[in-house]
Amino acid sequence: VMSSNRDFVRISSLSGRDLIFRRLSNKFAGPPAFRTPRVTRWCDVQYYTESLAPLPSPSRPPHLFPSLRSTMFRGYSFLALSLLSTSRRAAVAFAPSTRSASLRRFGVSKLGSTSDDDFAGFSSEVAFMFPGQGAQFVGMCGSLAAEVPAAAALFAEASSILGYDLLARCTEGPKELLDSTEVSQPAIFVASMAAVEKLRASEGGDAAVAAATCAMGLSLGEYSALCFADAISFADGVRITKARGEAMQAAADAADSSMVSVIGLPKEQVAELCAAASERSGENVRIANYLCAGNYAVSGASKACDAVEEIAKPEFKARMTVRLAVAGAFHTDFMQPAVGALEEVLAGVEIKKPRIPVVSNVDARPHSDPAVIKKLLATQVTAPVLWENTMDSVLGSGFERAVELGPGKVTAGILKRFNKKAQVENIQV
């Protein structure tokens, strides 16, 4: 990708294939706010579909990649590079349609895959939704395990993998233990899959389960959606969520960070609020969860989150802020230490092509290439959750009804914010 100062940056697809590479000289490309002097390291690349202001088309040097400018900067593509505190990785964002066309121009399908387009134009007629961390509560799944043998069998299998009685922690707590990241993540995953068994055991049985035309999960819930879609096995799902929870807890323990829900502001103003709080505190905070209009969660250093709470109402006229009961700044670079551990466990499991589309949190589109899915799952812990984009995609793809499976009613509530008349069935645990 050509920068405005005629430097180049190394670009790797999510499958690890290098597309273009050239050493940066003395600056990052992009808007002035993103420029950092004296950077001479190689940069890896992450893909996002978060909207950023497009850069003007740069002048084309005559000696390298003569068709590159017209391909990659056609008024729809955009580039944002930022120096991250730990790994000096660049964040590169393209508009989805232009990104795909641009990569194919270099002989690579979307995100470096030759088989990642199988779910293009997917149907969301019946959408199955799975909750994320925070949905857990003491007492969940007790009666379910007693009434549905298949659900009890899932808890028994999970307990043998985890090394402790997961059902007891769900039903008896204590709350502090169940709420801990390393316990709540496998607990919510197993509870969600137990909800699938509850649906299967109900009137309609397998037909009710087979009715799903697509699936999605909020953050952690993406693993439940992938398991439901037969992309990962239940046992591997337990192993992954266990490792993910432990790694994210360790990353949270290593830094003083938090999350705050900001209610009543559009995302543009929330971004301005984060910028003001970062400037005031001298620490970083950014939008981490794009949930729905007027409901965004921000993550960052605790001092910056304190500043968000201090100025959100008096200076930005937010309706309210709520400090979230999570271990740390999820979906930001504070979770970078967790990526390596997650990549290690993902490398040891098999991910198959999903039998139905599963919409990714990272770019709000379904993927059919297992290698791309695996890379996106590792990226997810440091990338913003684009749930708002996911809902827009689902509601615009022939949506008729949704089924929410697992503890709580968070995803159903968000869906209702988009469409008050949306038909949603809750399979509670």
The amino acid present at 122, given as its one-letter code, is F
Active-site pick, 219, 224, 281, 302: 219
Q: Rounded to whole angstroms, how far apart are CA atoms 342 and 231?
A: 17
Sheet holding 423-427, edge to edge: 358-359, 214-217, 126-130, 401-405, 423-427
Residue 301 near residue 284 (C-beta atoms within 8 A)? yes
Helices (H), 330-408: 336-347, 370-380, 387-395
Residue 426 near residue 412 (C-beta atoms within 8 A)? yes
Report residue 289 as tokens. 């969860």
Residue 224 near residue 212 (C-beta atoms within 8 A)? no
Let me know if 75 is exposed, middle or buried by CB neighbors in 10 A (0-12, 13-18, 19+): exposed
Closest listed residue to residue 362, CA positions, set 345, 374, 346: 374
Active-site residue, 331 included: yes
Q: Rounded to whole angstroms, how far apart are CA atoms 425 and 404?
A: 6
Q: Rounded to whole angstroms, how far apart are CA atoms 193 and 122?
A: 23
What are phi and psi for residue 275, nearest 5 degrees?
Answer: -65, -40
The 3-class secondary structure across 407-428, one letter per residue, is CCCHHHHHHHHHCCCCEEEEEC
Closest listed residue to residue 16, CA positions, set 343, 381, 342: 343
Active-site pick, 331, 360, 367, 368: 331
- Between strands 320-323 and 401-405, the pairing is unpaired
Report residue 405 as tokens. 């499976």
Active-site residue, 63 included: no
Sheet holding 257-263, edge to edge: 285-292, 295-301, 257-263, 320-323
Residue 25 near residue 34 (C-beta atoms within 8 A)? no
For 261, the 3-state DSSP assignment is strand
**Residue 56 DSSP code:** P
Active site residues per annotation: 219, 331
